[in-house]
Amino acid sequence: MASIPSGANPVAQPTRARRFRFPGIDPVLITYSVLTLIWVYSLIRVEGYRTVDYNLFTLRVAAFLAIVAAGQTLVVLMGGIDLSVASVITMTGVVGGNLITQVGETGGIVLTLLIAAIVGVANGIGVVSLRLPPLVMTLASMSVIQGGLLVYNAGKPVSGQSDFLNYWALGEHFRVPTPVYVLGAIIVLTMFLLHKTSYGRAIYAIGNNPRAALLSGIPIGLVQVATYALCSVIAGITGLLLLGRTGYSSKTMGDPYLLSAIAAVVIGGTSILGGRGKVIGTVGGALVLTVLVNLLTVENIPEAGRMVIQGGLILVLLFAYAYTDQ
Amino acid sequence: MELVAQAETVPSSSDAVMTAQPMLQTSGLTKAYAGNVVLRDVSMTILAGEIHALVGENGAGKSTWINLVTGVVRPDAGSISIAGNVAPHLSPRIAEQLGIATVHQELSLCPHLTVGENVFLGKTPTRHGLIDHDRIRHEAERQFRDLGVSIDPNALAGELSLAEQQLVELAKALAAKPKLLILDEATSALDSSQVDLLVQALRRLRDSGTAIVFVSHRMEEIFAISDRITVLKNGEYITTVPAAGTTTADLVRHMVGRDMADIYPPKPAISDLLAGPTLLSVRDLGSGKRFSGVSFELHRGEILGLGGLQGQGQHDLLAALFGLYGLEGGISLHGADLRLRGPRGAMRHRFAYVPEDRKTEGLIVQLPVRENLALPNLDQISQNGVLSRSRERTLVAAMVDKLQIRLRSPRQTLLRLSGGNQQKVAIAKWLPLAPEVYLLAEPTRGIDVGTKQEIYRLMRELTAGGAAIILISSDTIELLGLCDRVLVMYERRPVAMLSGEDVTEENVVHAAVVGEAVGGATVVRISSTATEDPDASVATVASPTVPPRRGVAGMASRLSWLRWLGNLPRAWQDVVPIYGVLLVFAIIYLYLTRNTFGIDTVNNLSAYLFPLFLAAIAQSVIMLTGGIDLAIGQAMSLATVVLATQMYDNPLSMAKAIAIVLIGGGVLGAFTGAIVTLIRLPAIIVTLATSFIWAGWALFVLSVPGGHLPRRFATNFTGQIGGVIPVTLLVLAGAILAWKFVKSTPLGLGIYAVGDNPRGAFVSGVPVRMSRIAAYVIAGVLTGLAGIGLSSYAATGDPLIGAPYSLASISGAVLGGIAFFGGQGQIRGTIAGALTLGLMTQILFISGLSPAYQRIVYGAVLIVALGVKAFASVRIEEGR
């Protein structure tokens, strides 16, 4: 009917391109194909990679990234983004270290994750009630957290020894590194939530069309706040694991994870616009990044080249995913 | 077909038609969407110097035909000839060049552009390459004068009433001096005097030889205006008849294929209905400026229609009843007072809402049918939040069966279903809720006849089961055929309630266009003991018409500063808050530096802030088109290392290095813009990827800070001219002037238009893709300039130095009022935003506050400032 469609409508989604799509190809297939290619290539090129131990080691490293990326996936599926995950990782590492020393293992861990949840809730409230674009809100909270941390302990590294965390970061069970089990648990949890609960249906609905979701009775405010909270808690788990890995936390420990987590999500076939994607794809994306970086490092490609290749890979995969069926 | 031969004998008042030339011929035109054929083998001819009406029910294919003929979409088969020449490839631009102009149903106006700019969008008059604003104003005024209306060409299009907007859309089409004018539902919001003006204009055009195609639902108008009438039904051509000698009944029979009595299910006796139990009672209901004074009693088994011109508050009323807007007045359900809190609250009270636009509001087309059907019923198919697949399957199967939804499997994506089946899904999903009140907005829009009938039958089944329906339909025939009663709205207030026998086209249309009830029809009375007496014929004149609000007129608000704010010219409204904050920071800064303040302070500040300014302006230009660039900072780093490695201490080398950086910035921008626009990938991730690439490239050029940036260059660039004026300030002023220059060209206007209303810009002939790419190129050059400033301030090349600017530029732009999704905002706002951020950082630094608190304040300011802005704008909107 006669009306001016508003481009500035905060609820309007940028339209997805309508184009020819190859039917029946799941982006996750492409992700894991690329992973296999890179992995096999690295096996061929580097002798040291052919041991089981080395590959298990790679899994361990990838698991840390995959965990935080899984949480990010939930937020992205909902049509948002969380730039504060890196600072949440650092925060939980630093605060966790202190709390564990002061309050004991269990109390420390629980409290730390609670604080992470509060950050997530704050992010959600900013997005829902203040109508801030998620990019801006989580950018702002990232800044506040970074500042808060500096106030908290003036940037000094914090030590917090925890056998529990140590085990889950560095241990092994049936030769499989323990972080992989943590990742497994998180995969099971997120997949269960996304595919078997009303909450998951709400996430996909909001990610595709928040207005229609609202008009179908979905409590979009609550769902968004809950998801940002969940993402932060999962990032907090990563932070605690990182603490467990060395027993120390530093003020930059979370930094590498921000862009990598988003990259893993996108490489894994999840659409940054929301509404499409799978956690298992994100795991594949984390693996791709880890294996790729390992390969490039061993091949002595300088950081410059590594960055260019990563950027190029993202572009190429984006292009490919645009033509797949979802 | 045989139409050309017929043409010679068509009677007309104009001599020209006697030797009528075909102006437009379509032959075998066919179009399908996702496998559903919406137009099949349509051949017809439009002659010069005639007014040719195109009629058909909702979903007959009229809009598709128009889109094909105007080049908005391409046909799957068939050809289009214009003035005798076959047009092989049509696009809106080409169609416009060939002399076709359209008054679109979905307005093509950009709300944040002025009326004048809108009228000439896509064909902006220029003088020496710059937009000729004087000519725009004169021509626009002339168009309006010829039409007989008075609209201010400098008003923002978004602030006009819907009727005025339709008139502007008309003026826009007329300004193109078309040979073929197409009007798609161009009168749906116009009152009778405005329609008269339109008709006069059309007659003048026709007599001068223009061909006119007129699409409308209003039979009266069609017979009053047209020479010939073509009927489409179900995507197929049915017939063309002369207007003279044809009756409405004939036409209706062509349109629906049978008599009205066969289409619509029989209605229950009105006296029985009105004597029956009352379901919903509404007394003096209103919602701010959206509508007011609505009172009625909704009975079980009743279908109540909301009639009136478009935009008179009907849709708002429906939405409000679903809890989407705050309500004033009395509303009770089953006799008990009702408080509606949002859609969930409405659903709990057994209200169901099927919005007008199923593709964007009523359904989630990217999801499978099954999930769409399940979405409002998640509580029923889950236990403690966990879904039960078997319960879902049963429920879905029941819904599909009940409505006879034709699909391959419930797992199918909704997009692949036909319009009719999609609409069935939109309605079916409510059934498990057992709603008592159905709120249906245009429920049969864009559906085929067969499905329509099924839906009509369903409606009566539902009402027979005790529910009631409130219905909006722009198809008068449908309204008459379906509804037991019709409440007609005019100027956002009810003016007539027609019952039973009084529900006739004459009564409905009269009330709609004139704004008062014809004698004999009941008018809604506003009283606390409202009871409806269908036999009373009280002709109460509706309250004096309130002229539609323009902009933000005084509203009684607790925050009186909002009132003052609302009276400012719109262009300044958005930026006042940030300039206010800026003022505060400026005062604090000046206080802190009061002892050392001097020329040097200003110079230093200017050199420090220069990169941020330019980065924020660059980001703003991109965000205006609805895009974003996360790689601006990394491109700046790249610029610094290029300068540091390419520049030597002689003027030629300096000039060369600067040129490389500026041109290179443009090239990088073109690259990004091309990927985003031509390959259509989301800007946010594309620029995430390019941020990696530019960063890596910078590391490649210089792996550590260094290079040989000439000292002279750095000191000169960050120095002063004549010892007084900072060079950076001059360059910044230059950049702003350059942007102003671009803004005053059609390209600049196009950039704003593309972000404001992409589809509207497209159908107006604005080169959408080029505009977007141009924005990225301009931003790229500005980014290069920012990089030059950065390397001068740092006096070195550094591959990592620019990184923080990516996010800072977004902060500055958003703080300054650039809307995140495009089309809104002014660079002057960005300047204030960037300046605020920069001053804040300086203040925190000077005051000795540790970097920790700087970060906290930075984040907090963002949140608070934007939160307040959002809060204030919501308040201003409510008062509109």
Stronger pLDDT, A130 or B257, i.e. the higher one: A130
- Which residue is associated with the tokens 């595709």? A208
A108/chain B closest Cα distance in angstroms: 24
Instruction: Give backbone dihedrals phi and psi of B136, rounded to 5 degrees, phi first.
Output: -60, -45
Question: What is the maximal distance between C-alpha atoms in chain B?
Answer: 97
In the stretch 460-519 of chain B, residues with CB closer than 8 A to chain A read: 474
Beta carbons within 8 Å of A267's beta carbon, 6+ residues apart: A31, A34, A284, A285, A288, A289, A313, A314, A317
Which pair of structure tokens corresponds to residue B483? 């509804």
B648: left (phi over 0), alpha (psi -120 to 50) or beta: beta
Q: Helix or strand or coil: residue B536?
A: coil
- Which residue is associated with the tokens 């790679």? A58
DSSP state string for B811-866: HHHHHTT--TTSS---HHHHHHHHHHHHHHHHHHHHTT--HHHHHHHHHHHHHHHH
Contact A212/B364, CB-based, under 8 Å?
A: yes
Per-residue pLDDT tens over the stretch B191-212? 878 888 899 999 999 999 999 9
In the stretch 59-118 of chain B, residues with CB closer than 8 A to chain A read: 105-107, 109-112
Best of B108, B364, B762 to substitute, by most chain A Cβ atoms within 10 angstroms, is B364
Detail the DSSP E strand segments found in B221-350. 228-233, 236-242, 278-287, 291-299, 303-308, 328-333, 336-337
Q: How many CB atoms lie within 10 A of CB B789?
A: 29
Contact A318/B429, CB-based, under 8 Å?
A: no
CB-CB neighbors (< 8 A) of A133 in chain B = 814, 820
Query: Residue length, chain A?
Result: 326
Beta carbons within 8 Å of A251's beta carbon, 6+ residues apart: A90, A94, A149, A150, A155, A157
Per-residue pLDDT tens over the stretch B551-568? 333 333 345 555 565 566
- Chain A contact for B697 (CB, 8 A cutoff): yes
Per-residue pLDDT tens over the stretch A55-81? 999 999 999 999 999 999 999 999 999
B228-233/B236-242 β-pairing: antiparallel
CA-to-CA distance for B192 and B837, rounded, in angstroms?
54
CA-to-CA distance for B769 and B775, rounded, in angstroms?
10
B287: left (phi over 0), alpha (psi -120 to 50) or beta: beta
Is residue B765 within 8 A of residue A10, CB to CB? The reply is: no
- Is pTM beyond 0.95? Reply is no
In the stretch 239-298 of chain B, residues with CB closer than 8 A to chain A read: none
Per-residue pLDDT tens over the stretch B611-645? 999 999 999 999 999 899 999 999 999 999 999 99
CB-CB neighbors (< 8 A) of B347 in chain A = 217
Per-residue pLDDT tens over the stretch B223-237? 989 999 999 988 899
Query: For position A5, what pLDDT does the model report?
Result: 41
Query: For position B162, what pLDDT does the model report?
Result: 86
CB-CB neighbors (< 8 A) of B862 in chain A = 136, 139-140, 143
Per-residue pLDDT tens over the stretch A262-294? 999 999 999 999 999 999 999 999 999 999 999
CA-to-CA distance for B140 and B118, rounded, in angstroms?
10
B164/chain A closest Cα distance in angstroms: 11
CA-to-CA distance for A212 and B365, rounded, in angstroms?
10
Q: Quick one: average pLDDT of A174-185? A: 93
Query: For position B193, what pLDDT does the model report?
Result: 85
User: H helices then E strands: how many in chain A?
Assistant: 13, 4
Per-residue pLDDT tens over the stretch B760-816? 999 898 999 999 999 999 999 999 999 999 999 999 999 999 998 998 999 889 888
Give how far Cα B118 sits from Cα of B165, B406, B549, Å: 10, 43, 20
Beta carbons within 8 Å of B53's beta carbon, 6+ residues apart: B213, B214, B215, B216, B222, B225, B226, B228, B229, B230, B243
ipTM of the complex: 0.89
In the stretch 828-867 of chain B, residues with CB closer than 8 A to chain A read: 850-860, 862-863, 866-867
Detail the DSSP E strand segments found in chain A. 158-159, 172-173, 176-177, 248-249
B270/chain A closest Cα distance in angstroms: 31
Is residue A183 within 8 A of residue A63, CB to CB? The reply is: yes
Nearest residue in chain B measured CA to CA from A321: B681
CA-to-CA distance for B523 and A268, rounded, in angstroms?
62
Query: For position A12, what pLDDT does the model report?
Result: 32
Q: How many CB atoms lie within 10 A of CB B88?
A: 8
A270/chain B closest Cα distance in angstroms: 11
Is residue A309 within 8 A of residue A301, CB to CB? The reply is: yes
Q: Which of B400-414, B483-497, B527-541, B846-860 has the lowest mean pLDDT?
A: B527-541
Q: How confident is the model at residue B528 (pLDDT cuts 50, 70, 90)?
A: very low
Is residue B427 within 8 A of residue B403, CB to CB? The reply is: yes
Q: Which of B138-152, B388-402, B845-859 has the lowest mean pLDDT?
A: B845-859
Query: For position A47, what pLDDT does the model report?
Result: 85
Which pair of structure tokens corresponds to residue B869? 């802005």
Instruction: Give backbone dihedrals phi and psi of B804, rounded to 5 degrees, phi first.
Output: -60, -20
Query: For position B296, what pLDDT does the model report?
Result: 94
- Please name which of B584, B582, B551, B556 lies closest in space to residue B568, comparing C-alpha atoms: B551
Which pair of structure tokens corresponds to residue B618? 């660059």
CA-to-CA distance for A230 and A212, rounded, in angstroms?
24
Q: Is A175 exposed, middle or buried (0-12, 13-18, 19+ CB in 10 A)?
A: exposed
